[in-house]
Structure 1
């Protein structure tokens, strides 16, 4: 079973350290950097595209499905953060990294409740502005699913960057699959699915639960697509989405869910798995000739490595495909975690040798190149093979 729960918990611990006073950071991770003792705002890397980034949060309910983890809760509920290309202009405020209630649950989950102020974590600087005016035109849509146990906040930097490059991004919190999700009415949902997974009686049972998470998230993402592009859309700016150009992407089990979504929904034109085990087998018939990018570490996913699902999945893919391994990366390199580690001067995965700047740049550049090539029809030489400017990126062709 390769959900990497330990790594996911470590990622959340990093976010806690971001908010910790200097003494706490010292106790947990060695000497704190000078920046950690100052009141200066800590923020995510700036988006690199030409657009200002706007954001809005939607609360969606699928009345056709009962929640699989807590049936007594009733219909399946999702929280979705939308990031979109916007026009610069009237002043507006940047969105919080997460809510204070969600931050409280994150801290409680790693034993720091009462030690660290939740408001410090929720106030991490972002670049997406609430109420920003939409840019003119229609833009491709990217459905984005985070790792198991991780809130959608952990993929904010990638979402903001894609929006700045001209994509609408829908980042999804899947109910009861994150350590902390706050609903508009104040309810706080915890990771019941994590508890279920940890109490599974066997490896086979955990594998089956992983498959259920992957296929369940596929249903979530298809529902989000319905509500964004259907006849009565839930988002007031839905007309800026070009429903003919849609991709699904995700980190860890969210990457498995991207493939599962493509298997279940022909409206999804392309997919990306960032370092996630494939919990649903890709059939011999493939994904209907649709393109798919596998972007991950070189530790578990190398040919003959421990995660055989990548060997099997790559062989089954029948359309344009790339398997890119990033030397010196770790499981969380494709999320916000390296940024948070860098800001606090802590190291959670000693195998990671890439700088934070390289981890962020590689993820942004290769994900956006794939989307530009397959949703916009713009050939990207970066995807043709190794390049001198990116010596860490290995093109695997088993």
Structure 2
């Protein structure tokens, strides 16, 4: 199967071969390298033609890729080809010079050929393990637009700096239902407004988890399914709002596939960068704010720190909720003015962002529903949650923090609204973000649901919950959720 995605910033279209996650030029280079190695073992009548054809394919493809920007996955392919090329061309050149062609005996050539094949094979393996992510096509009726805004809270000092005049600033990305764009319209850059911002954020994310940046160099090459500044969908419909806080060190774009799916179904998704907590936040003036939150190694101390960071994030969510009110009233001259249903707002988050969502809902009655994507509930469990809550979790294992489920269960059972905990078999902590689209499909890293199923499950379950709680759509919510895993329903008063 083949899929298409926009290529570089010049608007060209690059074809990605699904499964191998390699472009046509990369495939040609790979085939040329393999052909060079195997030519040695072909009958003598075929050997010269295959060698010439392989070199004719390999060399131009490698040159074009080097100019356009070569991925690290192709380097071992080119290295293997470079090793075999002199041995492949030497007999041809000797014949053209009238000299006798010399060819090593098979038992001398076999180890070298196998070594080159092994080197070349690491290219497609690397491309499969660390691909340029291909985002799923949203399934809703709307196309998706996106843009980035930056808001400063004049009433709240920045707690991460010593400057008394510094005020808390957040960067927010909006995904919204949009009009369909003309064919060939360039899709939005993933991880940033520009490729440079995307590379800055990608390098920071890799560094935060101890990965060399080059391993994920395909991520900032990706483009999502939305279009920057696309016109808002017509018909005057008002869109329910979903706020999102990323995980520890995470960034506003870490759940892009999920956000685009929700927006295609008529929601406005507002995802936050939390400066000094997110891995890297690029501000409007070009400055990059790096994360200053890190573990101390002491469990009690880390819990105290996490409670403080969660409180900051919860305040950020409340501030953005207020800004969206101003936006809808037309105070900022935004194209979305008058199109937001500010009476129907959910607050969501992943990991520590889920904890922030729970705290924001406790503190701010304007939130009508809560979604916690595998987040440990840091902070106080009072006052009780007073709105429907959905907690999605991975399966509990011996490595799971033993305090996690009791704390989460306590928060849900104390709620004065019906709440749900859905444990999804095969899920990992990174299942609940875009990670499965570009990280190695290793169960201990991203779960075992796979690159296609992971975003589908997270979007389907959260959409069912949002449609039931924000839009009051009839249906069996418990039945819809239980189709994806083990469901616990917590009714007000502690009943199940």
Q: TM-score, normalised by structure 1?
A: 0.83
Which of 154, 163, 168 lines up with 1:76 in the alignment?
168
**CA deviation after TM superposition for structure 1 residue 375, in Å:** 0.6
Residue 168 of structure 1 corresponds to 268
Relative distance call for 1:181 and 1:159 in structure 2 (3 A) is same
Q: How far, CA to CA, are the matches of 1:157 and 1:254 in structure 2?
A: 17
Distance across 2 between alignment mates of 1:25 and 1:163: 41
SS at structure 2 position matched to 1:65: strand
CA distance in 1: counterparts of 2:314 and 2:323, whole angstroms: 14
Which of the residues 145, 155, 158 maps onto 1:54? Answer: 145
1:106 to 205, 227, 232: 205
| Alpha-carbon offset, residue 350 of structure 1 | 6.1
1:105 shift after superposition: 2.9
**Backbone CA RMSD of aligned residues:** 3.2
Report if aligned partners of 2:188, 2:228 keep a CA contact under 8 Å in 1. yes
| Count of aligned residue pairs for this structure pair | 366
Which one of the candidate residues 282, 297, 303 is aligned to 1:207? 303
Tell me the secondary structure at the aligned position of residue 372 of structure 2: strand
Change in 2 beyond 3 A, CA 1:378/1:178: same
Q: For residue 163 of structure 1, report the CA deviation from its aligned partner.
A: 0.3
Q: Provide the residue aligned with 1:280 in structure 2.
A: 379
* 1:146-295 map, 5 Å: 146-194=246-294, 198-199=295-296, 202-230=298-326, 231=329, 232-233=331-332, 235-283=334-382, 286-288=384-386, 290-295=387-392
Q: 1:330 corresponds to which residue?
A: 428
CA distance in 1, matches of 2:466, 2:481: 18
Structure 1 residues without counterparts, runs of 5 or longer: 1-16
- Offset, 1:171: 0.6
Structure 1: distance between partners of 2:336 and 2:461:
28
Partner deviation per Cα, 1:8-47 (whole Å, 9 max, x = no partner): xxxxxxxxx99962278999xx95546828xx96421111
Rounded to whole Å, the distance in 2 between the matches of 1:299 and 1:24 is: 40
Return the alpha-carbon distance in structure 1 between the equivalents of residues 375 and 123 of structure 2: 32
Q: Work out the CA distance in 1 between the residues paired with 2:446 and 2:272.
A: 29
Moved more, 44-53 or 225-234: 225-234
Structure showing greater radius of gyration is: 2
Change (3 A) 1:133 1:208: same
| Cα distance, 1:330–1:243 mapped onto 2, change above 3 Å | same
Cα distance change of structure 1 residues 42 and 377 upon mapping to structure 2, 3 Å threshold: same
SS in 1 for 2:459: helix
Secondary structure of the equivalent of 1:154? coil
Residue deviations 1:144-169 (CA, integer Å, cap 9, x gap): 11101011221111111100010000
Say if 1:274 and 1:259 are closer, same or farther in 2 by CA, change over 3 A: same
> In the alignment, does 2:221 pair up with 1:123?
yes
Classify 1:179/1:304 alpha carbon distance in 2 versus 1 (closer, same or farther; 3 Å).
closer
Which moves more between the two structures, 97-106 or 301-310?
301-310
Structure having greater relative contact order (Cα 8 Å, sep ≥ 6): 1
- Tell me the alpha carbon deviations over residues 263-322 of structure 1, each in whole angstroms, 9 at most, x when there is no partner: 111111110001000002322x5223x111111112169999541211211221220211
Are 1:64 and 2:158 matched, yes or no? no
Mark the CA change 1:150 to 1:303 in structure 2 (over 3 Å): closer, same or farther.
closer
Q: How far apart, CA to CA, are the structure 1 residues paired with 2:475 and 2:188?
A: 32
**Contact 2:461/2:481, CA 8 A, preserved across alignment:** no
Structure 2 residue ranges without an equivalent (≥5): 1-20, 23-69, 78-117, 192-196, 490-495
Contact 1:58 1:235 in 2 (8 A): no
Q: Secondary structure at the match of 1:125?
A: coil
1:141 is displaced (CA, Å) by: 0.4
SS of 1:280's equivalent in the other structure is coil
Give the distance between the partners of 1:94 and 1:172, measured in 2 at CA.
Answer: 21
Alpha-carbon distance, 1:357 to partner: 2.5
Secondary structure of the residue aligned to 1:295 is: strand
